[in-house]
Every structure is written in C-alpha cells, then in structure tokens.
Amino acid sequence: METRQQPSERDRPAEQRRRELLEAADRVVLRDGPKASMNAIAAEAGITKPILYRHFGDKGGLYRALAKRHTDALLDSLRLALDAPAERRERVEATLDTYLAAIEARPQVYRFLMHPAETPQPETGAAAGAGSGETGFDVGRHSAPLLRRLGEELAKVIHDRVELGPEGERLARVWGHGIVGMMHAAGDWWLGDRPCSRAELVRCLADLLWGRLAAVSDKAGGPGF
C-alpha cells in the first residue's frame, strides 16, 4: 500500500515556510518572553536549528522579522484609531489606548522586542560552526529602528492632517517622535508597575498632549487629526 509522504522542507514555498516559522517563534515568545531561544523556536517548529538559521541568518534576523510582523499590525491598528470619525481628543485617546492595549495583551512579545533577556542565551549559527555563536543579544540595537519607524509614521499623519505653517514637516517629525517616545516610556513603566488603570493613563497622557496640538487648525479638505 502506498503511503503519502509529508512535504519536505524544500518542497514548501519559502514564504509559506517563513510564515510558519514566525508563527512558531510567536508561540515561544508568548511563553518565554525575552528568554526565547533559537533552540526552543526550532523545537517548536519541528526542525533543526540549522534550518532556522537558513531562513533568518541569526537571532537578529529572526528578531527583525518578528518586529516587522508586530509593528505592521500595530501600525494598522493605530491608523484605524487615527482615522475614526470622532473629535480630535477622542482620536488621540483612542490612539494612545490602542498602543497600550497592544502591549498589555501580549506583554511577553513586547518584552522580547524591547528588553534583553536577563540571562544571555548562547546561540550558535549553522554557518559559524561549532564553538562560535552569539551571546548577550543586543535588543536595544534592534528595537531603536522599531521606535523610529513608529515615530516617522505618526509624523506623516500629523503633517498630512494638521496645519503647522512653513516649518510644518520638521515640527511634525519632532512631535511624531516625541509622542512615540512618550507612549513607549510611559507604557513601559505602566506595564511593569501598574500604578493606575489603562483608562487613567490614557487620560493623563492625553492631557499632557492637549496644549498646542489642541490650538492649531486642521488642514482644509482633509479628515483632520
């Protein structure tokens, strides 16, 4: 009797396999947070570690792929909050709440993306050979571009929708990166200490922003901000 063979690693389309590996990595990160290792991810995916390195190069490559995956989803949610048919204050609060809700819902993913493991995990790449590997993964070096991307995306929204005068583009970038920095720092503190409810933190941060941003005019013909 002929038995059906499972498709081999090489038989699967590369993008499909990469997606499957990222989903396996997500499951490990949800369980282990910053301590998620390439060994654990390979085991979760049912493959050897050299195959994992073949797809991502090293832990930094896997980190960047996961960061893009989660940042894309977060940006989509933030854009929906910014585009909602509501008053500006409501949209600002909805945007802040969307960010905080995202890190609250998946704190281990957030910590993996933003914080190094307390105990460095040795990771050996397939191409490096025995005896060579990466230790003490530098998350900060990789998380900075993630925050920069969020800042640039928010700056575009501000510049497109708010009339800021002749130096509007530069001011929008200052505000965009400043708001993202505020959300990140306040959210990181709040997620660790839980000093207040999410709703209270949203209200306090919106109050902080409610200075010049509330006084400027929306651009004519646009949806406003």
pTM: 0.78
pLDDT at 127 over 60: no
Per-residue pLDDT band for 133 (boundaries 50, 70, 90) equals very low
Dihedral angle, C-alpha 130, 133, 119, 107, nearest 10 °: -120
Q: Is 223 helix (H, G, I), strand (E, B) or coil?
A: coil
Share of the chain above pLDDT 90, in %: 49
Among 60, 33, 15, 46, CA closest to 192:
33
Residues recorded for the chain: 225
What are the b/e assignments for 111-138, b being 16+ CB within 10 Å?
A: bbbbebbeeebebbbeeeeeeeebeebe
- Domain-wise residue ranges, the chain: 70-215
Q: Is 123 helix (H, G, I), strand (E, B) or coil?
A: strand
CATH 1.10.357.10 fits 70-215, yes or no: yes
